[in-house]
Amino acid sequence: MKSFKLDNEPKISSGFTTPEGYFDSFTDKMLAQLPKEEPKVISIFSRRKVWYYAAAAVVVMMLSIPLYTNYFRASEEVDALALEDYITNHTTISEDEIANLLDQEDLEKMKLDLNLEDEAVEDILLNNNDLEQYITD
């Protein structure tokens, strides 16, 4: 095989040539063709965008305040069902302790006004066959 050397082989010319002194005055010609006016500078912090940020902040506050008040409010009221379950499951509480916890208004609400006449009581006792059960209870 024949040895191949790049330096010894004849080179093919590309056919393109530049005129003499072309690159010496190239920058001056290029700068002369550019427009002389400065481009308009647009500020990042324009007044229009400030209003967008303010409107977004107002919307976020309008949505977050009701959510915050619903989730993080302290409830002063005790649920009646929860209170009843607590009392039934904790049988160590006596009736006297429950009476001490109640206010005078609560006690007034609990009073029953039974207006039974003597005739109504006699009718119930006569018509009821389980008198012995009432006597023993």
Same domain, 87 and 73: no
Pair 125, 131: CB distance under 8 Å: yes
Domain count, the chain: 2
Domain that holds residue 107: 83-129
In tens, the pLDDT along 25-83 reads: 888 888 888 877 877 877 776 666 777 888 899 999 999 888 888 777 666 667 778 87
Q: Is the pTM of this model over 0.85?
A: no
Check residue 29 and give its pLDDT: 86
Residue type, 119: E
Which of 60, 77, 94 is at the close of a domain? Answer: 77
Residue 66 resides in a domain = yes
Look up residue 48 and give its two tokens: 């229009």
Pair 59, 66: CB distance under 8 Å: no
Pair 124, 130: CB distance under 8 Å: no
